[in-house]
Amino acid sequence: MMKKKLLLLAFFMAMLNQLSAQLFQQNFQMPNHYFHSVFTAQLNDSSQDLLVVGSLFDSTLQNPEIQVIKIDDITGNVVGQKIYYDPSSAIQNPRVFDFVTYEENGNQMIAMTGSVTVSGMNYAFIAKLSQNGTYMGGAYYDSLVPGAMHSQGLHIIRSQQGFVVGGFTNMDYNSGTNDLTSGFVLKTDNNLTPIWSRELWTNLQNATRDYDMVNHILETDDGYFVTGSVTSVPFSTQQAVLCLKFDFSGNIVWTQSYVYGNSNDVGVDAYFNTSSDEIFLLCNYSNSHYFGITVLNDNTGVIDLARSWRAYDWNNLNRYAFSVLESASDSSNLVVSGYIRDGQVLNQDSVLVFGQTIPFVYEFQKSSGDQVGDVYYYDVVCQPPVFNDYFDFWSAQMPLIYYPDMSIKLQNDDQYFHVAYRSDSANGLTNIEMIKADQNHVNPCYRSRINLDHDAIVVTSTATLVNNQSPVATNFDLSADDRNYVLNVSCIYEGPPCSCETLAADVAAGFTYVITGYSVDFTPVSLDVECDSVEWNFGDGNYAYSAGNQTVTHIFPFSKEYDVCMKVTRITGTGEVCKDSICTTVDLTTVGMLYDKEPSLHIWPNPVKKFLYVSSKNEQWKGAGYKVINLHGETVLYGKLKESQITGINVEQLPAGIYLLQFKSARETLRYKLLKQKNY
């Protein structure tokens, strides 16, 4: 009997794992409406339903309402949705900018923040919902900053049986950045009564704009880390990164706000690493058109510049990050998600098209900042409408202040859930895109991989001022309605009917490899490019990623034996995910430097820092092509040798490391191992 129970339990767990592995990508449409400011979280109860919350506007971009959608975390089906508004119009223009799930008296609850309009004034608010969507009460707040005309709550967390909200106040809601603004942090009890409030601001008489605001609060083990932006005038007025920590009573522990670029720097999200007492701050920098990570000591605020970095790809600009979270596959990594501002990408039919607001994910190591795997983007594009206020999605090249939480790691699972936006091809309205991906960031609808470079940052400190304030809370009510909606499948898997039943045999077929000096080409034997994602572990601390039977090239550093492993993730047409791996020993002990006894090419210096020189007296090498290939098999530099005897190659911009230097004439191909040293 016990054996039968164990077999039934094993069968049940296998079925549960298979169900939880289902992946999907679909979009939620409310007819004749635009969605704006969409974000997500997950209920921590037996259902583990996903919640998607955002602001809903009519077809004229007016009359906002709050939309809450509950999604089954396995199938992606909508299990509930409600619209919140005030039918009496005493409370107008309810807009939600963040929410949090929490437990109250043993029940799962939802708390939201944003802004409501009362008698022509915008006020930051907190509202509470039950897990089934019943409105449980709310309060809006006046006098967060004396004299400020409007306020908006941008981020909310649950803390110490109450709430902490960050946001900003301003004098002219629609005037961009030319008015006076202040950031604020408000702490309340569970009944939404203020406990303390702090104004964050800068007092710069020569500033022509004002960027003071709070858009993220992170609770650490002894207080609250606050980020967003402040105003700075190192040369001209610019947006600087807000870095400040309060204790639980609202006292300042440290400030470390800084300037990095030359226009707009903003902190957007943060992750607390409890084991090292470090804060990983996610920032966006307009000067590099990219995102970056700043590592701070939670106790002192000191920035670890050796491990702080910015990403970049000068050939593909404007990739900005919104969320940072722990990796689902490796707790020593973090995952960044965000949007490509615009660019050419492959659509579902593998046609290169121009798109905007394209979601991407990027994984990196906490310890070093090194990229893990490739940068994936998903098959969805959107051209957001223009609202002419602080919350326009794209203010010039990047969002000005607002970066909602677009990604979560699913509870008790090794998967991710992302929310994004899709422009309706028929009418241009904005729908919500919902993406469930596996631990390798792929689903049946992902489109491509990208590799990014990154380098160190240099920061300049800037001041942040803090004042105590005494806000006034006013209770208000909203009503809830159900509306008709449309749920569309975003892309249909049209590849071959891959099966998990055959994966073990396909992986056991292994891979072939061809050795050319230190360079080795690896090719899987029986994998399918439409179904199989491959992670290569070369046994020398380096990894690469490919699809199906694609060949990857790796350059090994030494003459020795290496255990090379091929780890395969297969996604079937039904969304089922399965995995297997195989390892083979590759013997490079007989490999030496690839010079002939009398080499036809002379290369110096090697190792090299800036300029590499190539000479030959052999006519066949005049005008021959050359390539510099990195350890991932990617060509990072190429050109042709000069007709004269000596050619100079500038390698100064290449990162330090080992490369393959390849020369190809009409008669032969030569390859050399090249060691690039640091420039200093």
Cα separation, 362 vs 142, in Å, equals 40
Nearest to 59 by CA among 399, 501, 424, 505: 424
What is the predicted pLDDT for the residue at 237? Answer: 84
Start-to-end CA distance of the chain, whole Å, equals 71
What is the predicted pLDDT for the residue at 63? Answer: 93
DSSP 8-class letter at 501: G
- Asked if the bond preceding 444 is cis, omega within 30° of 0, the reply is no
DSSP 8-class letter at 500: G
Cα separation, 375 vs 364, in Å, equals 10
- The H-or-E segment that residue 320 falls in is strand 319-326
Encode pLDDT of 22-70 as tens digits: 788 889 999 999 998 899 999 988 889 999 999 999 999 999 999 999 9
Encode pLDDT of 498-518 as tens digits: 788 889 999 999 999 988 878
473, burial (CB in 10 Å: exposed 0-12, middle 13-18, buried 19+):
buried
Query: Range(s) for CATH 2.60.40.10 in the chain?
Result: 500-587, 602-676
The pTM of this model reads 0.74
Give the Å distances, CA to CA, from 31 to 54, 96, 592: 15, 20, 67
What is the predicted pLDDT for the residue at 363? Answer: 93
Look up residue 34 and give its two tokens: 């635009």
What CATH number matches the domain at 2-479, 1.10.10.60, 3.30.365.10, 3.10.129.10, 2.130.10.10?
2.130.10.10
Phi-psi region of 489 (alpha: psi -120 to 50; beta: other; left: phi over 0): beta
Fold classification of 500-587 is Immunoglobulin-like (2.60.40)
Q: Which residues of the chain have pLDDT under 70?
A: 1-21, 171-179, 344-353, 444, 446-450, 491-497, 573-575, 591-599, 632, 680
Q: Tokens 């992170």, residue?
A: 218
So what CATH class is 602-676? Answer: mainly beta
